[in-house]
Amino acid sequence: MARFTFKLPDIGEGISEAEVVAWHVAVGDRIEEDQPIADMMTDKATVEMESPVSGIVVELAGEIGDQVSIGAALVVIETDAAEFSAEEAPALRIDPPAELKVAPASAEQAEVAEQYEAENPGVEEAILSPSPSPLRGEGRGEGQPPAPSPDTAPLPRPLPARGRELKALASPAVRARAADLGIDLANVKTESDRIRHADLDAYLRYGQGQGYQPPHASNARADTPIKVIGMRRRIAENMAASKRAIPHFTYVDEIDVTALEDMRADLNANRGRRPKLTMLPLMIVAICKAIPAFPMINARYDDEAGVVTRHGAVHLGMATQTDAGLMVPVIRDAQDRNVWQLASEIGRLAEAARSGKASSAELSGSTLTITSLGPLGGIATTPVINRPEVAIIGPNKIVERPVFAKNALGGDEIRRAKLMNLSISCDHRVVDGFDAASFVQELKKYLETPVLLFAD
């Protein structure tokens, strides 16, 4: 009996160590010559190591994930042969991984190869394994290396890109996933030198048909020129004029709407045949109650005449998204309507705008605008003022978060709260920052104490 130590060979140029990514044998296993024993991964490829001798595995280098240095013992095998000398040790052969095998050369490739040979005389073929030493075995002459067979022949020296076609590399995880999915990696396209999970995802998404492209491949469609006309042109002109003429500033504050949402749920549960309430009617009631103390918010500025008109009635513009673009139907005398009347008018005007039946009178004359994206409201918005108004209000998305609060005994507690950021953009020529912030604080008072919405 003898022990043969299989040392990790140099499996890549400039590689000092490799990682064990899979063991195909265990201590005590009987293995045969050429049987796979381990998969070793470098930063360039994963190579399957095969046993050069037959025998019983008595030692392994480590666990999966361990790094093994080049030249260090990988596997110790107990063989039936006598002790090997350095000269008589079985030749080490490393079959290249499937990803690195060279495709059969075409006539064009052969021509390129011949040209490359003529231009680079005397250069030896590049192989992945050390030069084989003489083998001992039945039918082989002493000191003579075995004749190469098709599956053991060394790899030819790398040729210029035009003269070879190599399959892309893939990590063991990618190969395992491909095997589980029944995907032949030869059919998977990639833009890099390695097949990755994203390439498999693209293959699964588009299949092998004509529409399959590797990730990041161009899916560009033809350019489509669209003339800006009609409603779209009017919106573009109004927004450009607003941003060009008005020095905007935006103020944002956070509002706890937990109690308001609870009250809204109670009102909806007892609404009978009245329309279902959203947050918007309640918000409008709060705006109308706060406006009398801040008349500069509910105003229009004629910059040509140099006149600011503070309006006594709240004609509230309601930004509405339609197929034709953004429209702003107007709720007339919003201050005189209750939440149910506001809900009905909101529904009627929104439907009229979306169906294209809103009249010119219903789309003009607003003194203040509110814009809401509902559940798409985001964290904060910086809405553009609907000129010649001087302010626009934008409630944002409601989110649930833990907050610190005081309990009935004055101690600290953490509770679940529904919070909403409220944005307001103002014309700084008419509205000062202090006025905008004070107005939002007044709104906050009504929204966080919703019973005040129904108090005289």
* DSSP sequence for 309-326: EE-SS--EEE-EEETTEE
Boundary (domain end) residue, out of 167, 191, 212: 167
The reply to whether 119 and 241 lie within a common domain is no
- Kindly report which listed range (82-91, 242-251, 380-389) carries the lowest average pLDDT score: 82-91
Q: Rounded CA gap, 53 and 32, in Å?
A: 7
Q: Which is the catalytic residue, given 66, 193, 302, 432?
A: 432
| First-to-last C-alpha distance (Å) of the chain | 104
The reply to whether 396 and 308 lie within a common domain is yes
Boundary (domain end) residue, out of 167, 184, 201: 167
The reply to whether 113 and 241 lie within a common domain is no
DSSP 102: B
The reply to whether 260 and 162 lie within a common domain is no
What is the tens place of the pLDDT at every residue in 171-197? 888 888 888 888 888 888 777 778 888
What's the rounded mean pLDDT across residues 25-33? 90
> Which residues, other chains included, contact 186 with Cβ-Cβ below 8 Å and sequence gap of 6+?
167
The reply to whether 391 and 317 lie within a common domain is yes
Report the candidate in 74, 79, 19, 78 with the shortest Cα–Cα distance to residue 44. Answer: 19
Question: Which H or E run contains 179?
Answer: helix 172-181
Report if residue 196 sits inside a domain. Answer: no
Chain mean position to CA 120? 48
The reply to whether 323 and 236 lie within a common domain is yes
Range among 27-41, 217-231, 415-429 with highest mean pLDDT value? 415-429
Report if residue 160 sits inside a domain. Answer: yes
What is the tens place of the pLDDT at every residue in 195-216? 888 888 888 876 655 455 555 6
Mean pLDDT, the chain, rounded, equals 81
Report if residue 192 sits inside a domain. Answer: no
Query: DSSP per residue over 109-174, as a string?
Result: HHHHHHHHHHHSTTPPPP-SSPPPPP---TT--TTPPPPPPTTTSPPPPPPPGGG--BPPEE-HHH
Pairing of β 320-322 and β 325-327: antiparallel
| Band (86; pLDDT cuts 50, 70, 90) | very low
The reply to whether 267 and 413 lie within a common domain is yes
The reply to whether 448 and 369 lie within a common domain is yes
Report if residue 128 sits inside a domain. Answer: yes
Q: What is the pLDDT of residue 90?
A: 55
Q: Rounded CA gap, 227 and 248, in Å?
A: 29
| pLDDT exceeds 90 at position 161 | no
Cα atoms found within 13 Å of the Cα of residue 433, Cβ hemisphere only: 7
| pLDDT exceeds 70 at position 294 | yes
Provide the CATH number for the domain around residue 49.
2.40.50.100
Long-range CB pairs of 84-88, under 8 A, 24+ apart, other chains included: 84/2, 84/4, 87/133, 87/134, 88/134, 88/136
- Domain count for the chain, please give it: 2
What is the tens place of the pLDDT at every residue in 233-270? 888 889 999 999 999 999 999 999 999 999 999 999 99
Provide the CATH number for the domain around residue 369.
3.30.559.10
Q: How far is CA 369 from CA 24, 29, 315, in A?
A: 71, 80, 8
Q: Counting beta carbons within 10 angstroms of the beta carbon of residue 324, is it exposed (0 to 12), middle (13 to 18) or buried (19 or more)?
A: middle
What's the rounded mean pLDDT across residues 53-70? 88
What is the tens place of the pLDDT at every residue in 296-321? 999 999 999 999 999 999 999 999 98
Question: Which H or E run contains 249?
Answer: strand 248-256
Contact 267, 339 (CB under 8 A): yes
| pLDDT exceeds 50 at position 70 | yes
Report if residue 224 sits inside a domain. Answer: no
Q: Is 315 a catalytic residue?
A: no
| Band (115; pLDDT cuts 50, 70, 90) | low
Q: What is the pLDDT of residue 158?
A: 44
Give the tokens for residue 272: 């009978």
Q: Which is the catalytic residue, given 197, 253, 428, 435?
A: 428
Report if residue 113 sits inside a domain. Answer: yes
Report if residue 85 sits inside a domain. Answer: yes
| Band (165; pLDDT cuts 50, 70, 90) | very low
The reply to whether 13 and 98 lie within a common domain is yes
The reply to whether 162 and 236 lie within a common domain is no
**DSSP-based three-state secondary structure for 241:** helix
- Kindly report which listed range (43-52, 148-157, 248-257, 314-323) carries the lowest average pLDDT score: 148-157
- Kindly report which listed range (138-147, 186-195, 350-359, 372-381) carries the lowest average pLDDT score: 138-147
Q: Rounded CA gap, 330 and 317, in Å?
A: 4
Q: What is the pLDDT of residue 230?
A: 72
Q: Rounded CA gap, 118 and 419, in Å?
A: 77
Residue range of the domain that includes 54: 1-167
Boundary (domain end) residue, out of 140, 167, 194: 167
What is the tens place of the pLDDT at every residue in 388-422? 999 999 999 999 999 988 888 888 899 999 999 99
Range among 7-11, 115-119, 125-129, 348-352 with highest mean pLDDT value? 348-352
Q: What is the pLDDT of residue 208?
A: 59
Report if residue 204 sits inside a domain. Answer: no
What's the rounded mean pLDDT across residues 315-342? 93
The reply to whether 137 and 276 lie within a common domain is no
What's the rounded mean pLDDT across residues 336-359? 94
The reply to whether 122 and 246 lie within a common domain is no
Q: Is 432 a catalytic residue?
A: yes
What's the rounded mean pLDDT across residues 260-287? 95
